[in-house]
Amino acid sequence: MSEAVIAATGLRKTYRTRQGEREAVRSVTLQVRSGEFFGLLGPNGAGKSTTIGMLTTLVQPTGGSAHIAGFDVVRQSREVRRRISLVHQSNAVDRELSVRENLEFRGRYWGMGSRGARARADALLEQFGLGDRRDALFYQLSGGQLRRMLIARALVHHPEVLFLDEPTVGIDPHSRAHLWDVLRELHGRGQTILMTTHNLDEAERFCRRAAIIDAGQVLACDTVGALVARAGGRVTVSATYDGPVDLAALPAGSSAELRRADVREATVHVVTEKPEGLLGELIALGSATGRQLLDMTTSRPSLENAFLELTGRTYRA
């Protein structure tokens, strides 16, 4: 196993406000290895952004410690900043500069000469399909283009760790698909990425490991597969008939899961650990009420279930 590129232990942040102290992050402990695509998941206000703020040296931790590539985020913050990039959800682009200048100055801020920085900027803009937008200002870009530009800008100085805070929030599905391609390629090239996301589908798609945080604490940190397994391996089977059905008509000896099913008009939702064998029972239910089974779908266990199991609430709540 390669060494941890991101290592946080008991990371804590308390803000002092007029109403007293507010604990944004109570205790975050996590490790991310080189080349990993790691997900940081949690509802709004869970402490994701504050955690990223501390890991990227923008927020001073109140307690605990964190290291990036072996450097302390507080005492060696400049060494840390040399090796990381953050794509922030607030689109913190330099509004006075063009797309190309944003990348060019990014290079110069990391010590590149102006000619080298311009060449690097042009190469990245080409690679990200923004070559013809190089002279545009930020408000002339579409949401998707802006997000691509921010990721391109983040890569100018070859960061060891890329932090993405909600990379696909607020952009249309087409741009999101394009951005996913970009992320897949980056990961394929071995880029270490830590991503926060509201989109659990996105997390399942990319992250091999993830931490679920809520109320400033890590509730679980594991492979996505293991997190999903925590949901108990239950699946939801949905059956649709050609008209309303009634569970009262169930023949004797039907399974307990089916008896507890949720019936909405012509559709029956059954939560079960053993979906096999259910098809026969569902057909039997149909014939008992004079209906025909038209369709049946099985939802596999997902991160959404795991999230619900761990936090007791749905993800978007």
Partner 1 sequence: MSASSATHAVARAAPPVRTGRVFVAFVARDLRVVFRKQPTAFLTRVLVEPLTRIFVFSYVLPSVSGRGQQPGGSSFSTVLAPGMLATSMLFAGVLGVAMPMIGELTYPKTVQDRLLTPAPVWAVGAARAVSGAVQALVSVLLVLPIVMFVHAPGQAPDIHVANWPLLAVVVLFGSVLSGVIGLWLGTAIQPAHVSALFGLVMMPAMMLGCVYYPWASLAAIPWLHMLVLLNPVMYLSEGLRAVLTPGAAHLPLWAVLLALVGGSAVVGALSLRSFRRAAMD
**Where does this chain bind partner 1 (CB under 8 A)?**
34-35, 53, 56-60, 78-79, 81-86, 88, 90-97, 101-102, 105-106, 108-111, 157-160, 188-191
Distance of closest approach, residue 205 Cβ to partner 1, in angstroms = 20
Residue with Cβ nearer partner 1 (183 or 258): 183
Using DSSP, state whether 283 is helix, strand or coil: helix
Distance of closest approach, residue 203 Cβ to partner 1, in angstroms = 22
Distance of closest approach, residue 30 Cβ to partner 1, in angstroms = 20
Asked if residues 95 and 138 have their Cβ atoms less than 8 Å apart, the reply is yes
Residue with Cβ nearer partner 1 (165 or 309): 165
Residue with Cβ nearer partner 1 (92 or 177): 92
H helices of 155-275, where? 173-188, 200-206, 224-230, 256-259
Maximum Cα interatomic distance, the chain, rounded to a whole number of Å = 81
Write the DSSP assignment of 5-19 as a string of letters. EEEEEEEEEEEEETT
Residue with Cβ nearer partner 1 (107 or 286): 107
Distance of closest approach, residue 70 Cβ to partner 1, in angstroms = 11
Residue with Cβ nearer partner 1 (146 or 268): 146
Residue with tokens 């259910």: 278
Please name which of 89, 93, 85 lies closest in space to residue 163, comparing C-alpha atoms.
85
How many angstroms separate the Cα of 219 from the Cα of each of 27, 42, 87, 183, 307?
Answer: 10, 10, 25, 26, 10
Residue with Cβ nearer partner 1 (4 or 97): 97
Residue with Cβ nearer partner 1 (81 or 133): 81
Using DSSP, state whether 197 is helix, strand or coil: strand
The strand order across the sheet containing 37-41 reads: 71-72, 63-68, 4-17, 20-33, 217-223, 209-214, 37-41, 192-197, 161-165, 84-87
Distance of closest approach, residue 150 Cβ to partner 1, in angstroms = 10
Distance of closest approach, residue 168 Cβ to partner 1, in angstroms = 17
Distance of closest approach, residue 109 Cβ to partner 1, in angstroms = 4
CA R_g for the chain: 24
d(CA 33, CA 10): 18
